[in-house]
Amino acid sequence: MREPFQRYPVTASYLAAVTGAALLMRFVFADGMSAQVRESLSANPRNLAHHPVNALLGSAFVLDAADGAVFTAVSLACLALCLGTFERAVGPWRAAAVALTGHVTATLVATAVIGTGAYLVDLRDAAHLGVAYAAFTSAGAVAVLLPTALRAPWLALVLVYALLAGDWHGAVPEFTAIGQVTAALTGAACGAFALHRAYLATGRA
């Protein structure tokens, strides 16, 4: 049981925290309290204006029931495989920094899109949470570990999946899909930088 936390401390700890929160909200908290937690930690424009740190960080640890079981399972599997692989390559601190940067950047970009008025409905109080941004960041970051010929196709596949998995509002993709695309691109850029720094630290550059 200790081995995953020793080999993949960031990945294992994050997945354990997300799982623990999900179990508490499902089996321990009353329905009203669970709804209140989701509402409070949702990174929507209203919450970001009043308690930005809680919303930005807390939203990454609460699963969004609206994502559905399949999408959530894929996101968790992506975290386990991609973030774990990337963590082994660059170290826990760099992996954590990349995942956090991707989640925060994607959240802010998606929130900015909501503020443009591109959607016909008012989304200022919309649910905006889950592990998807960290998962897509990890998927983008792990691209730098692939053979050169496979990096662009892999990243393209990740971006296409993000755009096709979400709903569209006419010609405008769902704001979370835009966030997921942002997360993947941020992961690829930050992942390359983190890998370069890791190589410098070990004399492999």
pLDDT tens digits, one per residue of 58-114: 999 999 888 889 999 999 999 999 999 999 999 999 999 999 999 999 999 999 999
For residue 1, what pLDDT is reported?
60
Query: How far is it, in rounded angstroms, from Cα 5 to Cα 16?
Result: 10
H runs (alpha helix) in 91-174: 92-115, 132-141, 148-165
Is the Cβ–Cβ distance between 182 and 132 less than 8 Å?
A: no
Regarding predicted confidence, which is higher, 77 or 200? 77
Domain residue ranges in the chain: 2-202
Instruction: Report angle CA 79, 80, 84 to the nearest 5 degrees.
Output: 95
Question: H or E stretch including 120?
Answer: none
For residue 205, what pLDDT is reported?
56
Question: In CATH, what number does 2-202 get?
Answer: 1.20.1540
Residue 171 has pLDDT above 90, yes or no: no
Query: How far is it, in rounded angstroms, from Cα 85 to Cα 63?
Result: 22
User: pTM of the predicted model, to two decimals?
Assistant: 0.94
Radius of gyration in angstroms for the set of CA atoms belonging to the chain, rounded to a whole number: 17
Tokens 């998927």 appear where? Answer: 139
184: number of Cβ within 10 Å: 28
